[in-house]
Amino acid sequence: MAGLPTIYYGAVVNPQSLTSYQALPRCLLAVSSEGTIDWTVDDVEDSMVQEVMSQKGCVDAEVVPLREGEFLMPGFVDTHTHAPQVPNMGSGQQYELLDWLDNVTFPMEANFADAEFARETYVEVVRRVINCGTTTCCYYGTLHVEATKILAEIIHAKGQRAYVGKCNMDRNSPNYYVEPSPEASVEGTRELITYIRSLPPSPRTTTPLVHPILTPRFAISCTSPLLQSLQSLALSDPSLAVQTHISENPSEIAFTLSLFPNTSSYAQVYDSFSLLRENTILAHAVHLQDEEKQLIKERKAGISHCPTSNFNLSSGVAPVGDFLDRGIKVGLGTDVSGGFSPSILSAVQHASIASKVIAMNARDTLSVKDGSFANRALTIPTLLYLATMGGAEVCCLDKQIGNFSVGKSFDALVINVGKDNANPAAVWGVPHSTPKSGDHTKPKSKEEELDGWLEKFLFCGDDRNIRRVYVQGRLIGGTAFSG
């Protein structure tokens, strides 16, 4: 017999499309004992809560009321990050990509040959990422099989939804941090896939939360025989997702094309090895040619927009609006430690700035079209969508997560922007005191007030504002979590 649902009552923000979201100040949302959304009812006054629950047959269900200044929203989806690089956050600001890899990144990643070091580090990494509100994360590990198994084990134990991949890299990295052969690289990947798929069922669901993902680091680090082996593996199992980098930096692109002289573009390198497909996640995509954009659209692959890293490593500004106009799937990525924050909030903020840089450069041109995203600043609905549903689409999980549609998993955040003892971060929060001379601000409806809370959280918030983090209906993080 199924258990009773949990009923959440209060303000709810629910993304709908790239241009709209629902702001629901008085919403009842029911979550089943399996962690899926049973039903929602909007515009329920306090006095009507019990009546609505009775109509739904949930008289004895637990009710979780949200306080003034709190709202519920879908969890963030981080479509690209490097777990072993978290200790390096804030280091190497002076470098661009290839020098940064050699001087900062590869030396740190090599340390994960030590399994004890890996475990101590990854426990804190995953805890931090969860508390930043990331309910689904696409993790790159290192080339070490054992360390990446440990990462997957920790993610599974903590209850986060994730893709986890061991880097494939058999050339163009230091001799102390490179795989000895294509065969060894792919054998390690197969071992990790088997391990992750053998993890015990997660609480509340028979569907695994942690999935393996093929991870050719980037074309520069992979010989053709290695890519051919990954091609065979990918073709034998269409369910295996793929994650890699593309067109992040001009020097990287030139080096890639020199290594694969029979291909016309970076995207074609991956396509020639059958690694460009619907469940492929391409990080960065800053300098794509138009033909590459068309190819990515045709293959239904997704792009992870990593603006913090793109700015920090002086890589460039990805034309996200153009991608959206073309119908390419786009989500956000933190790309730690090219990016200096594990929070999708930073990615939201820098995605906004990146779009405004593009818009400013387009002001004196005739390239801004009505109804388009290209050459325009990204709006709040668009930024929210990229951080949630957009990421879910890139991960091919949009039927399961990303918003609060009935039947989806309850991957959610309780956000507190109220100015109270539970939220020391809300110096900009609510409720506000009223000036003795009178309040000159324009009165707002409850919906407009919730719009304001969301905008302030996206641009001023941090992990201190995230009270609870849920995955599949299970509380796994946040300031109110003691586990």
**pLDDT digits (tens), the chain, 483 positions:** 467 899 999 999 999 999 999 999 999 999 999 999 999 999 999 999 999 999 999 988 999 999 999 999 999 999 999 999 999 999 998 999 999 999 999 999 999 999 999 999 999 999 999 999 999 999 999 999 999 999 999 999 999 999 999 999 999 999 999 999 999 999 999 999 999 999 998 888 888 999 999 999 999 999 999 999 999 999 999 999 999 999 999 999 999 999 999 999 999 999 999 999 999 999 999 999 999 999 999 999 999 999 999 999 999 999 999 999 999 999 999 999 999 999 999 999 999 999 999 999 988 665 677 789 999 999 999 999 999 999 999 999 999 999 999 999 999 999 999 877 666 655 566 655 566 666 667 788 999 999 999 999 999 999 999 999 999 999 999 999 987
| Domain residue spans of the chain | 6-74+408-477, 76-394
Could you tell me which of 388, 414, 469 has the C-alpha nearest to residue 79? 388
Tokens of 346: 């930073």
- 3-class secondary structure, 421: coil
Long-range residue pairs from 56-61, CB within 8 A, at least 24 positions apart, any chain? 56/30, 58/4, 58/5, 58/7, 58/30, 60/4, 61/4, 61/5, 61/6, 61/7, 61/30
Q: Where are the alpha helices (DSSP H) in 224-341?
A: 224-236, 250-259, 266-272, 290-299, 307-312, 320-325
Instruction: At 445, give phi and psi (nearest 5°).
Output: -75, 170
Confidence (pLDDT) at 387:
99
Confidence (pLDDT) at 205:
81
pLDDT in tens, 50-61: 999 999 999 889
**What residues contact residue 10 under an 8 Å CB cut-off, 6+ apart?**
25, 26, 27, 65, 66, 67, 70, 71, 72
Asked, colleague to colleague, whether 6-74+408-477 and 76-394 share their fold, the answer is: no
**What residues contact residue 385 under an 8 Å CB cut-off, 6+ apart?**
15, 17, 18, 21
Q: Cα angle vertex 338, ends 268, 247, to 5°?
A: 15
Could you tell me which of 452, 425, 427, 457 has the C-alpha nearest to residue 441? 452
Query: Do residues 334 and 341 lie in contact, with contact meaning Cβ atoms separated by under 8 Å?
Result: yes
Q: Calculate the alpha carbon distances from 256 to 72, 231, 285, 479 in Å.
A: 44, 18, 14, 44
Please state whether beta strands 466-471 and 412-416 pair in parallel, antiparallel, or not at all (unpaired): antiparallel
- CATH number for domain 6-74+408-477, candidates 3.40.190.10, 2.30.40.10, 3.90.870.10, 2.60.40.10: 2.30.40.10
Confidence (pLDDT) at 203:
80
Which class in CATH covers the domain with range 76-394? alpha beta
Confidence (pLDDT) at 202:
84
Confidence (pLDDT) at 142:
99
- The owner of tokens 């061991």 is 166
pLDDT in tens, 54-81: 999 998 899 999 999 999 999 999 999 9
